[in-house]
Structure 1
Amino acid sequence: MSLQAQVEAALGRGVTRMVALHGGDLSDVARAELDCGGQVVAKTGAMVEREARMLRAMQAAGTPVPGVLYAGPGLILLEHLEETPPGPESWRALGAALALLHQTDGESYGWAEDYAFGPVEIRNGFKDTWPAFWADNRLRPFLDAVPREMAARLEGLCARLPELLPERPRPALLHGDIWTGNALFSGDAAYLIDPACYHGDGEVDLAMLHLFGQPPAEFLEGYGALRDGHEDRRPVYQLFPALVHLRLFGAGYRGLVTRLLNRAGV
């Protein structure tokens, strides 16, 4: 069955046109134009149902996300939102949205399902302490995929995490892959898209957002004050997305990983 036919069957409405959109590492994305004049976003892929569950968890937390209109094996349909260039108010809205997300706590560190960024498996098994989660689920999985000297430094950092990270911070609901491409700005509003959710230290999302650029001051105005010591923890948290990029895109990211290890003190 074609994607157009799948969308029509899921919604019980006719589709006049399918327009391919830029997708991510896990799914193909298209905009379906309906015969009633509306539009929806269709995402197909092996893990889209997991994405739908994450979006619904974020929505339950009160966080602005596209509404999930349908979720089935290999296909989800999402509310279509008109995108506009970000301005000061929408950056404040993004900060407020992320702060609201982080106010929702889990019982432990992790998520009920594993996930992936393309071929890179993301392990989300629950851990009782935050340093154990970060070591076992976020850093050690890359030891066999990096040069030996870098692996030794990563293992040394894992051994030091109990002194570098809080043992039991609030297990906040995290977006898990927040960068400007996963924030959709619409007017003065901001929506979070393409999540990779789990529960952990809220500073993880902030570290990711700062990895490849500096959000404007309005973002932190919307988010609120940060905990003391966040700048020292930031390179430890940024190592995970840097290692993902190294695996996905190759040696051009080796220098970034090395710089973050240096800043982390190993």
Structure 2
Amino acid sequence: MSAIAGRAAGLLGAALAQVRTLPGGDLSDCLLIRLADGREAVAKSGPAPRIEAAMLAAIRVSGAPAPSVLAVDDTVLVLERLSDAGAPAPAELGHAVARLHAATGARYGWPADYAFGPVPIANGGSDDWPAFWAERRLLCHAGHVPAALMRRLETLAADLGNRLPARPRPALLHGDLWGGNVLSDGTRVTGLIDPACYHGHAEVDCAMLALFGRPGPGFREAYGPPEPGAAERTALYQLWPALVHLRLFGAGYRGMVEGLLAAAGV
């Protein structure tokens, strides 16, 4: 970790004075650094710092909050330090996510593939949303999850054309939107961090927000009403993060995957 901090300080052109590990860090090292000239910044490793920098830039262009990229190379991403003093008001989070999702891409996917640690995220472009979700978010787990689960995933994937809209608006997605990736000063959202962006159905992020907790009733009022049929699609979209957790953290998440498959009727 000291190598990451030293590299970040070098990119900022100053001597390193102090380093502190920040919470999180399951898939990357994340450090608060203080430089000899008094500046502070966040330094983090990751699967592809330059790709993450482009994702953060896209979030900022959308009008949603994200940290500024101060420097980046192939090994480290150096970010503006943002206030993080508590959970945001649900309405403020709703407004922030609505601004993010208002940005639209030409196709589903992202210009580059990405990863959650050792789990690759295939983002190759597509004009067919059910096919994108089937191939890049469900069938991609073949060989990495128990065979019984994979058979159920294959059954579900074959039926997604009947379950998902063929061409929803390709909204800019955060891609890993849960409470731990939302920074706040206790009222307003100061930054959406640790993105895994791509363009897709906006319901994907909303489903992820509801997987490990709920943002509160004010979120939906500020964000906007759900699309018809959204409740029936929630489990389909929650399967992707649940499967990633199963692969990253082990059998403790198998029950979550099985529960979502059951909710989807397979």
What's the TM-score once normalised by structure 2's chain length?
Answer: 0.94
Residue matched to 1:182: 181
2:150 maps to what in 1? 151
| More moved, 56-65 vs 13-22 | 13-22
Aligned residue for 1:121, secondary structure, equals: strand
Letter of the aligned partner of 2:25 in structure 1?
G
The aligned length equals 264
Unmatched runs of 5 consecutive residues or more in structure 1: none
Give the corresponding residue for 2:264.
Answer: 264
Residue 157 of structure 1: CA displacement? 0.4
Match of 2:249 in 1: 249
Give the superposition deviation at 1:25.
4.2
RMSD across aligned positions (CA): 1.6
Paired with 1:3 and 1:165, the residues of 2 have a C-alpha distance of 42
Where structure 2 has 5 or more consecutive residues not aligned to the other structure, the ranges are: none
Identity of paired residues, percent?
50
Question: Structure 1 stretch 42-51 or stretch 106-115: which is displaced more?
Answer: 42-51
Tell me the residue number matched to 2:159.
160
- Worse-superposed segment, 1-10 or 39-48: 1-10
- What are the within-5 Å matches in structure 2 for residues 176-255 of structure 1? 176-190=175-189, 191-255=191-255
Letter aligned with residue 62 of structure 1: G
**Distance of 1:221 and 1:241 partners within structure 2:** 25
Letter in 2 for 1:57: A
CA 1:163 to 1:225, structure 2 compared with 1: closer, same or farther past 3 Å? same
* Shift of residue 87, structure 1, vs aligned partner: 4.7
Between the aligned partners of 2:88 and 2:72, the Cα distance in structure 1 is 32
**Counterpart AA for 2:209:** L
User: In structure 1, how many angstroms separate the alpha carbons of the residues matched to 2:112 and 2:73?
Assistant: 17
Q: In the aligned structure 2, how far is the partner of 1:17 from the partner of 1:50?
A: 27
**Structure 2 vs 1, CA of residues 49 and 23 (structure 1 numbering), >3 Å: closer, same or farther?**
farther
Displacement after TM superposition at 1:40 (Å): 0.6
Q: Contact 1:25–1:117 at 8 Å: present in 2 too?
A: no
In structure 1, distance between residues paired with 2:96 and 2:59? 10
Are 1:61 and 2:70 matched, yes or no?
no
Q: Secondary structure at the match of 2:143?
A: helix
In structure 2, the CA distance between the partners of 1:45 and 1:143, relative to structure 1 (3 Å rule), is closer
Q: Where in structure 2 are the equivalents of 1:38-57 lying within 5 Å?
A: 38-57=39-58
TM-score (norm 1): 0.94
The within-5 A match list for 1:124-139 is 124-139=123-138
Q: Which amino acid aligns with 1:135?
A: A
Give the Cα separation in 1 of the matches to 2:61 and 2:17.
32
Contact 2:18 2:35 in 1 (8 A): yes
The 3-state SS of whatever aligns with 1:144 is coil
Q: Secondary structure at the match of 2:63?
A: coil
The DSSP-based 3-state class of the residue aligned with 2:194 is coil
Deviation at 1:221, TM superposition (A): 2.5
In structure 2, do the counterparts of structure 1 residues 100 and 148 end up closer, same or farther at CA, with 3 Å as the change threshold? same
8 Å CA contact 1:143–1:154 kept in 2: the answer is no
Structure-2 separation of matches of 1:4 and 1:150: 41
Moved more, 40-49 or 173-182: 40-49
Kindly indicate whether the alpha-carbon contact (under 8 Å) linking 1:135 and 1:158 is maintained by their aligned counterparts in 2. yes
Which residue identity does 1:222 align to in structure 2? Answer: A
Q: Measure, in 1, the Cα distance between the counterparts of 2:109 and 2:4.
A: 33
Residue in 1 aligned with 2:141?
142
Q: Is the 8 A contact 1:26 1:47 kept in 2?
A: no
Structure 2 CA distance for partners of 1:102 and 1:38, relative to 1, 3 Å? same
CA distance in 2, matches of 1:187, 1:239: 30
SS in 1 for 2:157: helix
Q: Secondary structure at the match of 1:6?
A: helix
